[in-house]
Structure 1
Amino acid sequence: MLKKSATMLLVCALMGITPVLSAAGVTASAASMSATPADKTILANTPEATINALDAALIKSMQGGSRLGYRGRYRIVAPVVQAVFDYPRIASLTLGAYWNKLSPEQQKEFVGVLADYTAATYAARFNSFNGEHFAIVSSETLQSGTEGIFSTFTQRNGKVHRFDYILQKQGGQWRIVNVFADGVSDLALKRAEYTETVQKKGFAALVAHLKAQIAGYAKGSQ
């Protein structure tokens, strides 16, 4: 079992973003926007099934390794990533107050870049297989319509990493709104970095930065 501190970490993080995640707090554009239509063959009606779909895609990417190359691995993970993450909501949370200052076209562009960046990151990093495996350890209802899934990623040498997820239900489907890797919130990291970039350099610079990172993954990964 994961330590109770993992649960508390998720609850504390949730409390910090609840006003934005609530139905009243999400902007109309974010709530109605979609990076791509959700693939019903990937999405399922339980939080565990959503995480299992992501884990299965990552293992398949790892098993493909250099035989598939970066582009082959990207083709495996990209449609799953699009389906299991709630990118409109993640985008609005990531940019905070800046989100509502963007035009609908800019919001749509940012949602798409975020999804592409996540798929590129997974394709680049989950690039070889040596007996690793994922496992869901437990789940917990954090509030109505919000679930925490606590999972592990075990390497061949026995080292265990923790991946914990906050999921929310939308349109009958459970989708990820935040990931904690070994206790570190991906949403918090992105929000700190991206809002600073927007504040200092502007929205166009942020998008250009993310696209450059995506191109770097494609060029530097085999």
Structure 2
Amino acid sequence: MTRPRIVTARRAVLLGAAAAALPRLALAQSSPAEVVERFHALLIELMRDARRLGPRGRFDRLRPAMDTAFDLPAMARIAVGPPWSRMTPEQQRAISQSFAEWSVATYANRFNGFSGESFTTVGASTLQNGDQLVRTSLNRVNDAPVTLSYLMRRAQDGTWRIVDVYLTGTISELASRRSEFATVLAQGGPDQLAAELRRRAAGLLQG
């Protein structure tokens, strides 16, 4: 069990600078909680500079960080579910790419300002299959905190990556997407799903 740790604006700058200097070996040795904390540090920096950056600038800052912290191809596969195995490799790549763009655009749109927020790492636990669950809290100055839990899994390169996010600690983001994706797939197949995700990403970045 990890001790509660808070990512404030000042600590975010220090963590962000350290993350930029880390070689791949250090990333492979990072704990699940450290992976989440570095991502949270970037989010705090991003929120503080959100207006200057604008949606596209936030997207460009987030993309490499999310490629490192998240296993976006695995998340796309999980969100699609069983139909994934019936798709061609080209269709899988198209959906993975558009899912990644949409995911980054969603964060760029969501974290669009700073009002004194901070993140607290509450704890981490190992699941029966070897995955880890990192529990955190988004602390808001004039509102109740938001519980965010990250499901972490080792990728093929040995690094811990986020493969799902549980809002309020219990609601799987990918599970909630699966029914949406199933509807689009039923209507127009994999090509339509890829196109729909690209359309959503473009819409989020227009602001």
State the shift of 1:40 in Å.
3.1
CA 1:114–1:42 in structure 2 vs 1: closer, same or farther (change >3 Å)? farther
| 1:85 corresponding residue in structure 2 | 70
| 1:196 corresponding residue in structure 2 | 183
Which residue among 97, 100, 115 is the counterpart of 1:130? 115
Deviates more, 1:106-115 or 1:126-135: 106-115
* CA RMSD in angstroms, aligned pairs only: 1.9
Q: Which runs of 4+ in 1 moved over 6 A?
A: none
Read off the aligned partner of 2:142 and give its amino acid letter: N
The number of residue pairs the alignment matches comes to 183
CA 1:113–1:40 in structure 2 vs 1: closer, same or farther (change >3 Å)? farther
Structure number with higher relative contact order (C-alpha < 8 Å, ≥ 6 residues apart): 2
Q: Distance in 1 between matches of 2:164 and 2:108?
A: 19
Query: What TM-score do you get using the length of structure 2 for normalisation?
Result: 0.82
Q: Distance in 1 between matches of 2:26 and 2:79?
A: 25
| 2:8 corresponding residue in structure 1 | none
Query: What TM-score do you get using the length of structure 1 for normalisation?
Result: 0.77
Listed as ranges, the gaps of 5+ residues in structure 1 are: 2-38
State the shift of 1:57 in Å.
1.6
Q: Is the 8 A contact 2:152 2:162 kept in 1?
A: yes
State the secondary structure of the residue aligned to 1:202.
helix
Aligned-pair identity in percent equals 33
State the shift of 1:92 in Å.
1.8
Q: Distance in 1 between matches of 2:126 and 2:202?
A: 38
CA 1:184–1:144 in structure 2 vs 1: closer, same or farther (change >3 Å)? closer
Is 2:100 the counterpart of 1:115? Answer: yes
Q: Is the 8 A contact 2:151 2:162 kept in 1?
A: yes
